[in-house]
Chain A
Amino acid sequence: MSVRTLPLLFLNLGGEMLYILDQRLRAQNIPGDKARKDEWTEVDRKRVLNDIISTMFNRKFMEELFKPQELYSKKALRTVYDRLAHASIMRLNQASMDKLYDLMTMAFKYQVLLCPRPKDVLLVTFNHLDAIKGFIQDSPTLLHQVDETFQQLTEIYGGFSAGEFQLIRQTLLIFFQDLHIRVSIFLKDKVQNSNGRFVLPVSGPLPWGTKVPGLIRTFNNKGEEVRKVEFKHGGSYVAAPKEGSFELYGDRVLKLGTNMYSVNRPVETHMSGASENLAAQTQESIAPNPLAKEELNLLARLIGGMEIKKPSGPEPGFRLNLFTTDEEEEAMICLP
């Protein structure tokens, strides 16, 4: 499929990962002076996000990422995020990492599926980058790195045709095919059904460039309109108010890709259907398939650019159980 999909996949999934980590670390937030040795403070949280963002936007890493290439396998991509999550002093157990990845993936799948136009996936990416910049306001060098990535995105994707974006969209959807993990926040907001499928609304704003359905216009040989008839199309759509901005700064208009875990909303990043997860995955990921040789080489080049931080303090203090209500989650009945 499209050989220009990996940067969009990586940056958006990375963005979702940061949203979740930020929210979970805040949920465990303890005032600095009251913190025990094994508890997370605001300073710790900012440091974790800083370290991960710095690794994500490392120049050498970005260079590799932006080369035209096929998408990695799901396994290879998961390995990249395992390493990324551990680019800070934070240590996640396997269960936490699994849940984090599932949450990230389902969130981006939702965003891609609901993008009104294929080109809007770029706006989703910009929303993630805008939020990432919000996390590193006090680091001018990091901000500069993110802005550079922004420029690269604009350079490469700015001139893409609608057809090329449609191919990118199809490539992403094929990557996310058959993933139906139920996510608590999505179920609660009624954007996902209990069978794991996302709700596709038949109302609301139209994609930029699409007219409200319902009109049939007939023309004669001279190009003059000779008849105009309306029909009932079944939905309830309105024209888009304006187009989102593709500039470095601007109103993206689209809300997809913004932080749905932000402080204003009381949110649980709960997961259900952990066992369904396995069943829903394709044969490819269940079978014990070693990574193909080419993938390993690509991975090595990519991760070569990453610096894995070793925890300097006593290990137990930096271990993080992302989702503390595991028991409750496991006990949740998953309806078929």
Chain B
Amino acid sequence: MFRRERSIPLRGSAAALCNNLSVLQLPVRNLTHFGVVHGPSAQLLSAAPEGVPLAQRQLQAKEGAGVSPPLITQVHWCVLPFRVLLVLTSHRGIQMYESDGSVMVYWHALDAGDASLVQAVFARGIAASGHFICVGMWSGQVLVFDIPAKGPNIVLSEELAGHQTPVTDIATEPAQGQDGVADVVTADDSGLLCVWQSGPEFKLLTRIPGFGVPCPSVQLWRGTIAAGYGNGQVRLYEASTGTLHVQIDAHARAICALDLAPELLSAAEDTFVHIWKLSRSPEGGYIEVEHCHGECVPDTQVCGARFCDPSGSSFAVTGYDLAEILRFSSM
């Protein structure tokens, strides 16, 4: 059972995007950082354990040519071996900051060419893999940036071709070191999942087709891919083979966010947040799922949800038009 904790007020309401909540846990400093996209700006704030807000900062999308101010698509903290960077993607490019958002260390402008005349051009989907940061594009490409241990000498290392439609989300987990073991998963608007092994040259291991239903959110943990789809389903796959292991008719509307560690958290536009327990069956070795808890956030189109601690005993939720971060913790 979970109970509602004190909410954290936001300066601006959350935008109707997917994966619109990033959480950086800093247990050593007894702090939690939250990042939410409002529209043309994103809000970062840090809070103490009881949800008491301590500091907040707003970041703007870097301007460029165009009629209206550029909109941010996602904000996400990337935890790398020697540093943490905050990455912001927008309709103009990719901005990388020091983790508190104080200094921009890198700017990558989108090279849209004539594309912007006929289709939306943007970056979306952010994840750290080892000392790389992967960012998805409207074109389906995934840019891989090599991040030094410190300083602004960030270099575009590779451009991955695997998707034909806009990238929605990217998930990673620490590399196992062995050959052929997947540690990066990218998802797109057609529901296609590409499974990669990171390295100086990323290797495409397998593809999992989506049949036209978008996959807005994906997670990777201990070799299991959890993918949430626009038709409300959550599917679990074996990362190395792409085999479907579990299919959950989880929500009544499109899923907008997933989090995984060690429980699975799913949130959707149907106002519900569900928590699922994952385990490996002793006999068959296949993944088993059990529903643990369902929470209805009344009249709120949820747009972001994350666990706030490593054991999954608390989580936070954002909703469209809601100017606060809702918090829940287990009793």
- Give me the interface of A with B, judged by CB distance under 8 Å: 1-3, 68-73, 113, 116, 118, 161-164, 166-167, 169-170, 173-174, 177-178, 180, 193, 197-200, 202, 206-207, 209-221, 223, 226-227, 229, 231-235, 237, 282, 292, 294-295, 298
Contacts and interface: CB of A to CB of B under 8 A. Distances in A.
Contacts of B188: 163
Contact of B272 (A174, A217, A233): A233
Contacts of B272: 202, 233-235
Interface stretch (B49-57, B173-181, B219-227, B285-293): B285-293
Given A207-B231, A209-B213, 18 more contacts: A3-B120, A73-B68, A164-B189, A167-B166, A167-B189, A174-B16, A177-B16, A178-B13, A193-B299, A206-B252, A207-B232, A209-B231, A211-B231, A216-B291, A220-B286, A229-B290, A231-B291, A294-B67
Contacts of A73: 67-68
30 contacts: A1-B120, A1-B122, A72-B67, A113-B301, A161-B214, A163-B165, A166-B230, A169-B16, A170-B15, A170-B16, A177-B321, A178-B321, A200-B298, A202-B272, A211-B231, A211-B249, A213-B249, A213-B250, A216-B247, A216-B248, A216-B289, A218-B246, A218-B289, A219-B247, A220-B284, A227-B288, A231-B291, A232-B291, A233-B294, A298-B67
B120 A177 contact: no
Most buried by B among A174, A193, A209: A174
Interface in B15-66: 15-17, 39, 66
Nearest to B214: A163
Contacts of B300: 200
Given A202-B271, A235-B270, A163 B166 contact: yes
Contact of B39 (A177, A199, A209): A177
B15 A177 contact: yes
B128 interface: no
Contacts of A227: 288
Interface of B is mostly: loop
Most buried by A among B122, B231, B249, B289: B249
Contacts of B13: 177-178
Contacts of A235: 252, 270, 272, 296
Interface of B: 12-13, 15-17, 39, 66-68, 71, 91, 116-120, 122, 165-166, 168, 188-190, 212-214, 216, 230-233, 241, 243-254, 270-272, 274, 284, 286-291, 294, 296, 298-301, 320-321
B294 A173 contact: no
Interface of A is mostly: loop
A218 B236 CA distance: 9
Nearest to B320: A173
A168 to B, nearest CB: 9
A232 B275 CA distance: 12
A213 B252 contact: yes
Contacts of B286: 218-221, 226
A289 B75 CA distance: 28
B67 to A, nearest CB: 5
A226 B246 CA distance: 10
Contacts of A202: 252, 270-272, 296
